[in-house]
Amino acid sequence: MTDRFRRYAIYWTPEPGSAFEAFGAAWFGGENFGLDPELAARAKRAPARYGLHATLKAPFRLRTGATIDDMQRSLDAFCRIRRAPEASPLGFIRHQRYVVLSPGERTAATDWLAAECVTHFDSFRAPLTDADRAAREIDTMTDRERAYLDDFGYPYVLSEFRFHVSLAGPLESGEADAVRRALEPHLAPMLREPLRIEALTLLGEPDGGGAFQVLSRHRFRFT
């Protein structure tokens, strides 16, 4: 399977069959929810590549000698001894010119899960290449973010991490407000209850390009 995908990622994704999953399929599948079609297409072009998700281990190439089977076994073992964490209800915010959903309060359990994913699964990650570094706006990063990029292949981890679900962007302020107004009525019922992270999802980016594909889900044993 490894020759079919050029990168892998570990995300939170909505539970299969949930209203959250149905919303993501509709929004990224072509439903504009009353928005101008040009604005809607531009708003979701970037996040649609990854689907409705929150990043726990950002996309990475497998190191030499590592296999997808090894990673799936490691994910099974990781989830088997951990409790499903819960975050406070999600709400709309602006984050780096994106419209995102993020918990109203930071939760130690979700921050700790993200930190463990970043560090535990880093042994599967190939080192950054010069092209990888060139794709990042390193000059705009803080010293800490650059250090995290060097150490873990991604700058927004550990103390720089914030759990968030990207819906649209990058957008100007007025455009972001219009997208939020259009999406909020459809998401409101899902934003009333705490978010429970029942599983980790492994995704792969096809070698020929295109949207990330779900490869496997790994449920936490304890609730």
149-207: per-residue pLDDT in tens? Answer: 999 999 999 999 999 999 999 999 999 999 999 999 999 999 999 999 999 999 999 99
Which is more confidently placed, 25 or 130?
25
- Percent of the chain at pLDDT > 70 equals 99
What is the pLDDT, as a whole number, of residue 3? 60
Q: Is residue 187 exposed (0-12), middle (13-18) or buried (19+ Cβ within 10 Å)? A: buried
Q: Using one digit for the tens of pLDDT, what is the confidence trace for 24-70?
A: 999 999 999 999 999 999 999 999 999 999 999 999 999 999 999 99
Q: What is the mean pLDDT of the chain?
A: 95
Quickly state the pLDDT bin for 1 (edges 50, 70, 90). very low
- Predicted TM-score of the model (pTM): 0.95
Flag whether pLDDT at 127 surpasses 50: yes
pLDDT, position 222: 81
Strand partners of residue 200: 218
Instruction: Using the Cα atoms of residue 15, residue 97, residue 141 and residue 108 in order, give the sign of their dihedral.
Output: negative
Q: What percent of the chain has pLDDT over 90?
A: 91
Report the alpha-carbon distance of residue 222 to residue 73 in Å, rounded. Answer: 18
Higher pLDDT, 1 or 27: 27
Say what the pLDDT of residue 148 is. 97
C-beta of residue 214 within 8 angstroms of C-beta of residue 201: yes
* Reduced 3-state DSSP string for the chain: CHHHEEEEEEEECCCCCCHHHHHHHHHHHCCCCCCCHHHHHHHHHHHHCCCCCEEEEEEECECCCCCHHHHHHHHHHHHHCCECCEECCEEEEEECCEEEEEECCCCHHHHHHHHHHHHHHHHHECCCCHHHHHCCCHHHCCHHHHHHHHHHCCCCCHHHCCCCEEEECCCCHHHHHHHHHHHHHHHHHHHCCCEECCEEEEEEEECCCCCCEEEEEEECCEC
